[in-house]
Amino acid sequence: MQIETRKASYSMPDLLARGLRGTLVALAVFAVVGTVSAVWTNPLFVRMTPVGAWEALAAGVMAVLAGATAALWVPQCRARGARSGGVVGFLGIACPTCNKLLMFLFGGPVLLAWFDPVRPYLALAGIVVMAFAAFRTGQAFRASRGRSPMAGSFETGTSRGLT
């Protein structure tokens, strides 16, 4: 007995819509994260600490990963990993003394002495979580198209060792 997998095909308009959705999400995430964390000068938010080059790069990588996750999203996916990675990454990018909640809880000297040196690692952790979420979303997308999540080939009952 051979097990058949169903093939879900995506039309060109669907693929274009996914590409457009991913691009718009990436641009929106980059604009929002960069503006709110004041990576660039803007009239809405003022940054109290100098901006490092890694912060703009981290914001860009986070935006690309969010766009990829949005473009490949299928109903079987949960966005929890991407959201939590985005929050952790944002805390790593944002100005430590500009965060009112952290300022209230810990105070400025503690944030500058203890939290500021850890921020690059926090941003990296957020990017790693978002990358894992994008990878899992890509696996679910390939599986929904009737492809093997790992090998990228069509699965049949015999290729899985089932006969």
Local confidence pLDDT in tens for the 163 residues of the chain:
444 444 455 678 888 999 999 999 999 999 999 998 889 888 888 888 888 889 999 999 999 999 999 998 887 777 778 889 999 999 899 888 887 778 888 888 888 888 889 999 999 999 999 999 999 998 888 888 775 444 444 444 444 444 3
- Give a yes or no: residue 21 inside a domain: yes
This prediction's pTM:
0.77
- Give a yes or no: residue 133 inside a domain: yes
- Give a yes or no: residue 62 inside a domain: yes
How far CA 39 is from CA of 11, 31, 51, 127, 148, in Å, comes to 39, 10, 6, 17, 40
- Give a yes or no: residue 127 inside a domain: yes
- Give a yes or no: residue 140 inside a domain: yes
Angle at 16 between CA 11 and CA 17, to 5 degrees: 95
Extract the tokens encoding 100: 């009112």
Query: What is residue 12's three-state secondary structure?
Result: helix
Number of domains the chain is built from = 1
How many Å apart are CA 45 and CA 89, to the nearest integer? 18
Which residues form the domain of 121?
12-144
- Give a yes or no: residue 6 inside a domain: no
